[in-house]
């Protein structure tokens, strides 16, 4: 039986090259801080970066889990990483979550932030076709990967 690492591919989007590059699972785990504080990925520096984690079996992609991170100059995930939010939204979010009472305005802001965060992690439209090519396998029928590609008309 194959290990989890052998059944998962991690890819990083390179927008200037219009392609995805593979990242070893061990590098991804260290970057994400799975077992210890996160470290940067060599060659990936500050800015907004898109990644996908794709569990698969021998012949099909099973799921596509999108990640988006704001990285610092050392390539580490920024401490207050809130992808897609403005500075004001990040400040509001932090304040509202610890507030003893919420106003109607706070609730409205929190709802808007949650809606925006849900979209923030989506794979960029221009990266979908290159992702399918990079994976090199079809989506498993009935899987979340198939649903992902169906949403983008790429089964």
Residue 65 CB: number of other CB atoms within 10 A? Answer: 15
Residue 16 CA to residue 148 CA, distance in Å, equals 24
Say what the pLDDT of residue 4 is: 58
Q: What are phi and psi of 66, to 5 degrees?
A: -85, 140
Residue 18 CA to residue 128 CA, distance in Å, equals 10
Say what the pLDDT of residue 69 is: 84
Per-residue model confidence as pLDDT tens for the chain (155 residues): 455 567 899 999 999 999 999 999 999 988 887 667 788 888 888 888 999 999 999 999 998 988 888 888 888 887 666 657 788 887 887 777 656 667 889 888 888 887 887 776 788 899 999 999 999 999 999 988 998 898 877 54
CB-count burial class (<10 Å; 0-12, 13-18, 19+) for 86: exposed
DSSP 91-113: HHHHHHHH-SS--HHHHHHHHHH
């Amino acid at each position: 039986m194959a290990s989890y690492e052998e059944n998962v591919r991690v890819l990083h989007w390179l927008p200037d090259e219009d392609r995805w590059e593979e990242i070893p699972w061990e590098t991804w785990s260290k970057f994400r801080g799975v077992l210890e504080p996160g470290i940067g990925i060599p060659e990936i520096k500050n800015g907004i970066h898109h990644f996908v984690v794709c569990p698969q079996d021998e012949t099909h992609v099973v799921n596509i889990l999108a990640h988006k991170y704001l990285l610092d100059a050392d390539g580490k995930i920024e401490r207050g990483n809130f992808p897609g939010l403005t500075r004001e939204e990040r400040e509001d979010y932090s304040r509202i979550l610890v507030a003893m009472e919420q106003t109607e305005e706070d609730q409205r802001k929190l709802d808007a932030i949650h809606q925006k965060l849900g979209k923030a992690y989506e794979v960029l439209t221009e990266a979908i076709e290159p992702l399918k090519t990079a994976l090199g396998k079809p989506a498993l029928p009935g899987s979340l990967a198939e649903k992902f590609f169906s949403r983008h008309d790429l089964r």
